Structure 1
Amino acid sequence: MKADQRGARSEIVVDAELVNWMLVRDIDPFDHAKVRVRLAGQILKDRLGRFADRSWIITSPVRSRRHLIAAGAVVRTHGSTYRLLRRSDREDLELD
C-alpha cells in the first residue's frame, strides 16, 4: 500500500500476475558495470490487455528491492506492477 496526498493508505493496483517465473540477470547496455534484474514467466490476468494468459514474457528491469522478490510478493518494473505466484523449478538465467 502507499499513502495518498492526505496520508491515507490506498490499494496497490496489480497490472498482471506472473507464474512459473524466474530471475533474469543481464548487463545494462548503457552502463556495463550495472547488472539488471528482470523476471521471465507466464503472464496471467493482464488487465491492460497486452498479453494473452500463459504467454511467456521477460519484464523490464525490476524496481523493487531484490530481497522482496518472492512468491506472493508484488513487484514493480519500469511500467508495470506484478503479483508473483508460483516460482519456476528452473534455474535463474544469467545473460551476458
Structure 2
Amino acid sequence: MEDIALIQPMQSWKLGSIGDTTAIGTGLAQVEGASLFKDVFKSAINNVKTSQLDVENKQYLLATGQLSDAHSLPIAEAKAQISLDLLVSLRNKALDSYNELMKINL
C-alpha cells in the first residue's frame, strides 16, 4: 500500500505560444539532462565492472576450493550477463536516438 503514494497523476504541460521556441532545449534543463544521462551511463558501466569482478572472484574461489556455496557462481554470472546486456541496450538506444536526431532537417 505504500507504493500508491509514489504514483503521481498526469499533469498538463505548460506550453508557451506556438511561435515561442526560446525555452526549448536551452539553459539549465539541457545541462541537467546531459548530466543525468552521463550519470546513468556511468552507473551502468560501473555496475558491469563490479559484477564482472564479483564473477572473477567467485571463479577463483571455486577453483581453489574456497567457495562454500557453489550456487552463488551461476547467480553472479547471470547478474553480470544481465548488466552487460543492459549496458549494450543503453548504448544501442543512445546511438539510435543520435541517428534519429541527425536525420531531422532544420
TM-score, normalised to structure 2, is: 0.18
Higher radius of gyration, 1 or 2? 2
Larger fraction in helix: 2
TM-score, normalised to structure 1, is: 0.19
- Bigger RCO of structures 1 and 2 (CA < 8 A, at least 6 apart): 1
Larger fraction in strand: 1
